Amino acid sequence: MKPKLTQSGLAQKQAREQTVPEKRSDGVLRLVLISDTHDRTPAAVPPGDVLIHAGDFACGDDLHSLQRDIGWLRSLSHRQKILVPGNHDLILTIQPNVRELLGSIHFLSDSSVDIDGVRFYGIGWGSKPIIPEGTDVLISHCPPAGVLDNGMGCPVLRRAVAEARPRVHVFGHIHGCRGHVQLGLTHFYNASLDARQTSQAAVVAASSHTISLPTARPWVHELPRASPLV
For residue 163, the model assigns a pLDDT of 97
For 37, left (φ over 0), alpha (ψ -120 to 50), or beta? alpha
Q: What is the mean pLDDT of residues 22-31?
A: 73
**DSSP letters spanning 201-230:** HHHHHHHTT---S--SPPEEEEEESSPPP-
Least confident range from 20-24, 136-140, 161-165: namely 20-24
Residues in the chain: 230
Query: 14 with 112: CB under 8 angstroms?
Result: no
Structure confidence at residue 50 (pLDDT): 98
Backbone angles phi, psi at 176, to 5 degrees: -75, -5
C-alpha–C-alpha distance, residues 152 and 51, integer Å:
26
Could you give the 3-state DSSP secondary structure of residue 182? strand
Mean pLDDT across the chain: 81
CB 89 within 8 A of CB 57: yes
**What's the pLDDT score for residue 3?**
43
User: Per-residue b/e over 73-86, b at no fewer than 16 CB within 10 Å?
Assistant: beeeebbbbbbbbb
Going across the sheet that includes 118-122, the strands are 19-20, 111-115, 118-122, 137-139, 168-171, 186-190, 179-183
pLDDT in tens, 108-119: 999 999 999 999
> Is the predicted pLDDT of residue 218 greater than 90, yes or no?
yes
User: Rounded distance, CA 130 to CA 142, Å?
Assistant: 14
d(CA 57, CA 69): 8
Position 225 scores a pLDDT of 79
- Quickly state the pLDDT bin for 197 (edges 50, 70, 90): low
Confidence at residue 228, expressed as pLDDT on a 0 to 100 scale: 47
Give the model confidence (pLDDT) of 88-138 as tens digits. 888 887 877 888 889 999 999 999 999 999 999 999 999 999 999 999 999
Residue 165 reports pLDDT greater than 90: yes
Residue 230 — very low, low, confident or very high, per pLDDT cuts 50/70/90?
very low
At residue 20, the pLDDT reads: 40
Per-residue pLDDT, averaged over 145-152, amounts to 94
Q: What is the pLDDT of residues 32-82, one digit of tens each?
A: 999 998 888 887 899 999 999 999 988 767 788 888 889 999 999 999 999
pTM of the predicted structure, to 2 decimals: 0.81
